[in-house]
Structure 1
Amino acid sequence: MQDKPINVLLIEEEPMLREITSFRLELLGYRVECVESAEQALDRLSGELPDLMIVGHFLPGMSGIELIDRVSNDIRTSSVPVMLLSPNADLDHVQRAYTAGAKEYLVAPYDPMVLQDKIHKLASRRPTAT
Protein backbone atom coordinates (compact mmCIF):
# COMPACT_ATOMS: atom_id res chain seq x y z
CA MET A 1 0.00 0.00 0.00
CA GLN A 2 1.09 3.61 -0.45
CA ASP A 3 2.69 5.81 2.21
CA LYS A 4 -0.46 7.91 2.61
CA PRO A 5 -3.40 5.85 3.88
CA ILE A 6 -6.45 5.68 1.65
CA ASN A 7 -9.48 7.30 3.28
CA VAL A 8 -12.70 5.29 3.14
CA LEU A 9 -16.11 6.69 4.07
CA LEU A 10 -18.31 3.81 5.23
CA ILE A 11 -22.03 4.59 5.36
CA GLU A 12 -23.83 1.71 7.06
CA GLU A 13 -26.84 1.79 9.39
CA GLU A 14 -26.40 -1.68 10.93
CA PRO A 15 -23.84 -1.37 13.77
CA MET A 16 -22.40 -4.90 13.60
CA LEU A 17 -21.84 -4.82 9.83
CA ARG A 18 -20.35 -1.32 10.14
CA GLU A 19 -17.96 -2.44 12.88
CA ILE A 20 -16.88 -5.66 11.13
CA THR A 21 -16.33 -3.91 7.80
CA SER A 22 -14.47 -1.01 9.37
CA PHE A 23 -12.24 -3.37 11.36
CA ARG A 24 -11.41 -5.44 8.28
CA LEU A 25 -10.54 -2.35 6.24
CA GLU A 26 -8.35 -0.97 9.01
CA LEU A 27 -6.47 -4.29 9.13
CA LEU A 28 -5.80 -3.82 5.41
CA GLY A 29 -4.29 -0.39 6.09
CA TYR A 30 -7.18 1.87 5.15
CA ARG A 31 -8.27 4.84 7.24
CA VAL A 32 -12.01 4.42 7.81
CA GLU A 33 -14.58 6.98 8.86
CA CYS A 34 -18.03 5.60 9.65
CA VAL A 35 -21.41 7.27 9.52
CA GLU A 36 -24.81 5.64 9.82
CA SER A 37 -27.10 7.74 7.64
CA ALA A 38 -27.27 9.37 4.22
CA GLU A 39 -27.67 12.77 5.90
CA GLN A 40 -24.45 12.27 7.90
CA ALA A 41 -22.69 11.14 4.72
CA LEU A 42 -23.80 14.23 2.80
CA ASP A 43 -22.65 16.46 5.68
CA ARG A 44 -19.30 14.67 5.68
CA LEU A 45 -18.96 15.07 1.91
CA SER A 46 -19.29 18.84 2.23
CA GLY A 47 -15.74 18.85 3.59
CA GLU A 48 -12.67 17.01 2.31
CA LEU A 49 -13.65 14.15 0.03
CA PRO A 50 -12.78 10.54 0.90
CA ASP A 51 -10.76 8.47 -1.55
CA LEU A 52 -13.63 5.98 -1.84
CA MET A 53 -17.00 5.16 -0.32
CA ILE A 54 -18.87 2.05 0.76
CA VAL A 55 -22.61 2.62 0.98
CA GLY A 56 -25.03 0.32 2.78
CA HIS A 57 -28.35 -0.47 1.16
CA PHE A 58 -30.69 0.41 4.04
CA LEU A 59 -30.07 3.96 5.24
CA PRO A 60 -32.36 6.29 7.16
CA GLY A 61 -33.76 9.05 4.95
CA MET A 62 -32.85 7.61 1.57
CA SER A 63 -31.74 4.27 0.17
CA GLY A 64 -28.12 3.52 -0.56
CA ILE A 65 -28.91 3.55 -4.28
CA GLU A 66 -30.47 7.01 -3.96
CA LEU A 67 -27.37 8.24 -2.12
CA ILE A 68 -25.09 6.78 -4.79
CA ASP A 69 -27.17 8.43 -7.51
CA ARG A 70 -26.94 11.78 -5.74
CA VAL A 71 -23.17 11.51 -5.18
CA SER A 72 -22.46 10.35 -8.73
CA ASN A 73 -24.49 13.22 -10.23
CA ASP A 74 -22.79 15.91 -8.15
CA ILE A 75 -19.80 17.36 -10.02
CA ARG A 76 -17.86 17.74 -6.77
CA THR A 77 -18.24 14.11 -5.64
CA SER A 78 -18.72 12.24 -8.92
CA SER A 79 -15.09 11.12 -9.11
CA VAL A 80 -15.21 9.29 -5.76
CA PRO A 81 -15.49 5.53 -6.48
CA VAL A 82 -18.43 3.93 -4.65
CA MET A 83 -19.38 0.37 -3.72
CA LEU A 84 -22.87 -0.67 -2.60
CA LEU A 85 -22.99 -3.14 0.28
CA SER A 86 -26.35 -4.94 0.20
CA PRO A 87 -28.01 -8.18 1.33
CA ASN A 88 -29.86 -8.24 -2.01
CA ALA A 89 -28.23 -10.37 -4.72
CA ASP A 90 -31.11 -9.91 -7.20
CA LEU A 91 -29.72 -9.07 -10.65
CA ASP A 92 -32.20 -6.21 -11.13
CA HIS A 93 -31.07 -4.64 -7.86
CA VAL A 94 -27.41 -5.01 -8.79
CA GLN A 95 -28.08 -3.35 -12.16
CA ARG A 96 -29.90 -0.44 -10.46
CA ALA A 97 -26.84 0.13 -8.26
CA TYR A 98 -24.49 0.22 -11.24
CA THR A 99 -26.89 2.49 -13.15
CA ALA A 100 -26.94 4.86 -10.16
CA GLY A 101 -23.13 5.08 -10.31
CA ALA A 102 -21.74 2.27 -8.15
CA LYS A 103 -18.40 0.94 -9.38
CA GLU A 104 -18.60 -2.24 -7.28
CA TYR A 105 -21.33 -4.26 -5.56
CA LEU A 106 -20.83 -6.53 -2.57
CA VAL A 107 -23.47 -8.87 -1.17
CA ALA A 108 -23.57 -9.09 2.63
CA PRO A 109 -22.74 -11.22 4.42
CA TYR A 110 -19.51 -11.23 2.46
CA ASP A 111 -16.28 -13.18 2.27
CA PRO A 112 -13.49 -10.95 3.69
CA MET A 113 -11.27 -11.82 0.71
CA VAL A 114 -13.97 -10.62 -1.69
CA LEU A 115 -14.19 -7.34 0.26
CA GLN A 116 -10.41 -7.01 0.03
CA ASP A 117 -10.42 -7.63 -3.72
CA LYS A 118 -13.24 -5.19 -4.42
CA ILE A 119 -11.82 -2.44 -2.20
CA HIS A 120 -8.44 -2.73 -3.93
CA LYS A 121 -10.20 -2.38 -7.29
CA LEU A 122 -12.02 0.71 -6.03
CA ALA A 123 -8.80 2.20 -4.71
CA SER A 124 -7.17 1.74 -8.11
CA ARG A 125 -9.99 3.80 -9.68
CA ARG A 126 -9.26 6.86 -7.58
CA PRO A 127 -8.27 9.88 -9.66
CA THR A 128 -5.35 10.50 -7.29
CA ALA A 129 -4.09 6.90 -7.32
CA THR A 130 -0.35 6.66 -7.95
Structure 2
Amino acid sequence: MSFRLELLGFNVTAVEDGGQAAAEISRSIPDLVIVDTVLRDGDGLEWIARIRTEHAADRLPIIIFSLDPSLETVERAYHAGAQDYLITPFDPTVMEEKIETLLLSQKTSVKAKAK
Protein backbone atom coordinates (compact mmCIF):
# COMPACT_ATOMS: atom_id res chain seq x y z
CA MET A 1 0.00 0.00 0.00
CA SER A 2 2.80 2.44 0.86
CA PHE A 3 4.45 1.82 -2.50
CA ARG A 4 1.21 2.48 -4.38
CA LEU A 5 0.62 5.71 -2.49
CA GLU A 6 4.18 6.84 -3.18
CA LEU A 7 3.64 6.14 -6.89
CA LEU A 8 0.62 8.43 -6.71
CA GLY A 9 2.84 11.21 -5.36
CA PHE A 10 2.10 10.99 -1.64
CA ASN A 11 4.79 11.23 1.04
CA VAL A 12 4.27 8.14 3.17
CA THR A 13 5.50 7.44 6.67
CA ALA A 14 4.87 3.80 7.53
CA VAL A 15 5.14 2.69 11.14
CA GLU A 16 5.06 -0.66 12.85
CA ASP A 17 2.61 -0.01 15.69
CA GLY A 18 0.43 2.50 17.48
CA GLY A 19 3.25 3.74 19.71
CA GLN A 20 5.38 4.69 16.72
CA ALA A 21 2.38 6.30 15.04
CA ALA A 22 1.62 8.40 18.12
CA ALA A 23 5.26 9.52 18.25
CA GLU A 24 5.14 10.56 14.58
CA ILE A 25 1.87 12.44 15.07
CA SER A 26 3.25 14.30 18.09
CA ARG A 27 6.18 15.47 15.91
CA SER A 28 4.00 16.55 13.00
CA ILE A 29 0.27 16.15 12.32
CA PRO A 30 -0.06 14.35 8.96
CA ASP A 31 -2.62 15.11 6.27
CA LEU A 32 -4.17 11.64 6.64
CA VAL A 33 -3.84 8.51 8.78
CA ILE A 34 -4.56 4.99 7.60
CA VAL A 35 -4.83 2.45 10.41
CA ASP A 36 -5.92 -1.15 10.80
CA THR A 37 -8.37 -2.22 13.49
CA VAL A 38 -5.73 -4.64 14.80
CA LEU A 39 -2.34 -3.23 15.75
CA ARG A 40 0.66 -5.13 17.01
CA ASP A 41 0.45 -3.24 20.30
CA GLY A 42 -3.32 -2.97 20.72
CA ASP A 43 -6.70 -2.14 19.30
CA GLY A 44 -6.63 0.31 16.38
CA LEU A 45 -9.99 1.80 17.29
CA GLU A 46 -8.91 2.54 20.85
CA TRP A 47 -5.74 4.07 19.43
CA ILE A 48 -7.79 6.43 17.22
CA ALA A 49 -9.88 7.62 20.15
CA ARG A 50 -6.72 8.24 22.20
CA ILE A 51 -5.02 10.15 19.35
CA ARG A 52 -8.10 12.34 18.96
CA THR A 53 -7.92 13.44 22.61
CA GLU A 54 -4.16 13.44 23.29
CA HIS A 55 -2.96 15.24 20.18
CA ALA A 56 -5.84 17.61 19.46
CA ALA A 57 -6.19 15.85 16.14
CA ASP A 58 -9.94 16.30 15.94
CA ARG A 59 -9.93 17.20 12.24
CA LEU A 60 -7.28 14.65 11.21
CA PRO A 61 -8.75 12.45 8.46
CA ILE A 62 -8.55 8.77 9.39
CA ILE A 63 -9.33 5.74 7.23
CA ILE A 64 -9.71 2.34 8.87
CA PHE A 65 -8.65 -0.83 7.08
CA SER A 66 -10.10 -4.03 8.45
CA LEU A 67 -10.77 -7.65 7.66
CA ASP A 68 -13.91 -7.33 9.79
CA PRO A 69 -17.00 -6.32 7.80
CA SER A 70 -19.35 -6.51 10.80
CA LEU A 71 -21.66 -3.58 11.41
CA GLU A 72 -20.56 -3.46 15.05
CA THR A 73 -16.91 -2.89 14.11
CA VAL A 74 -17.78 -0.33 11.45
CA GLU A 75 -19.90 1.59 13.98
CA ARG A 76 -17.10 1.41 16.57
CA ALA A 77 -14.69 2.81 13.98
CA TYR A 78 -16.88 5.81 13.23
CA HIS A 79 -17.55 6.42 16.94
CA ALA A 80 -13.80 6.30 17.60
CA GLY A 81 -13.26 9.07 15.05
CA ALA A 82 -12.68 7.45 11.67
CA GLN A 83 -14.07 9.22 8.61
CA ASP A 84 -14.01 6.17 6.36
CA TYR A 85 -13.80 2.38 6.54
CA LEU A 86 -12.34 0.02 3.96
CA ILE A 87 -12.73 -3.74 4.15
CA THR A 88 -9.63 -5.66 3.12
CA PRO A 89 -8.84 -7.00 0.64
CA PHE A 90 -9.89 -3.97 -1.39
CA ASP A 91 -9.68 -2.58 -4.88
CA PRO A 92 -6.73 -0.11 -4.93
CA THR A 93 -8.73 2.38 -6.98
CA VAL A 94 -11.39 2.46 -4.24
CA MET A 95 -8.65 3.24 -1.71
CA GLU A 96 -7.34 6.04 -3.94
CA GLU A 97 -10.83 7.53 -4.32
CA LYS A 98 -11.46 7.46 -0.56
CA ILE A 99 -8.11 9.14 0.15
CA GLU A 100 -8.66 11.83 -2.47
CA THR A 101 -12.18 12.51 -1.16
CA LEU A 102 -10.98 12.86 2.44
CA LEU A 103 -8.06 15.10 1.52
CA LEU A 104 -10.26 17.29 -0.66
CA SER A 105 -12.89 17.63 2.07
CA GLN A 106 -10.14 18.49 4.57
CA LYS A 107 -8.80 21.26 2.31
CA THR A 108 -12.32 22.61 1.77
CA SER A 109 -12.98 22.58 5.51
CA VAL A 110 -9.75 24.45 6.27
CA LYS A 111 -10.52 27.09 3.62
CA ALA A 112 -14.05 27.56 4.96
CA LYS A 113 -12.76 28.08 8.51
CA ALA A 114 -10.12 30.56 7.32
CA LYS A 115 -12.73 32.90 5.82
Could you state the TM-score of these two structures normalised by the residue count of structure 1?
Answer: 0.77
CA contact (8 A) 1:85 1:105 kept: yes
Long gaps (5+) in structure 2: none
Report the counterpart of residue 106 of structure 1 in structure 2: 86
Pairing 1:55–2:57 present: no
What is the CA deviation profile of residues 100-120 of structure 1, one whole-angstrom value per residue up to 9, with x for unaligned ones?
000010111110111011111
Larger proportion of helix: 2
Of 94, 104, 114, 1:124 maps to 104
Identity among equivalent positions (%) equals 39
Pairing 1:94–2:74 present: yes
Equivalents in 2 of 1:54, 1:105: separation in Å? 10
Flag the structure with larger Rg: 2
CA contact (8 A) 1:123 1:129 kept: no
State the shift of 1:25 in Å: 1.0
What is the CA deviation profile of residues 6-39 of structure 1, one whole-angstrom value per residue up to 9, with x for unaligned ones?
xxxxxxxxxxxxxxx1111112211110001000
Aligned residues: 110
CA contact (8 A) 2:68 2:87 kept: yes
What is the CA deviation profile of residues 81-129 of structure 1, one whole-angstrom value per residue up to 9, with x for unaligned ones?
1011111111111011001000010111110111011111121232586
Equivalent AA in structure 1 for residue 10 of structure 2: Y
SS in 2 for 1:97: helix
Equivalent AA in structure 2 for residue 100 of structure 1: A
SS in 2 for 1:34: coil
Equivalent AA in structure 1 for residue 63 of structure 2: M
Equivalent AA in structure 1 for residue 90 of structure 2: Y
Of 11, 14, 21, 1:31 maps to 11
Equivalents in 1 of 2:102, 2:40: separation in Å? 25
Equivalent AA in structure 2 for residue 110 of structure 1: F
CA contact (8 A) 2:84 2:98 kept: yes
Instruction: Compute the RMSD of aligned alpha carbons.
Output: 1.7
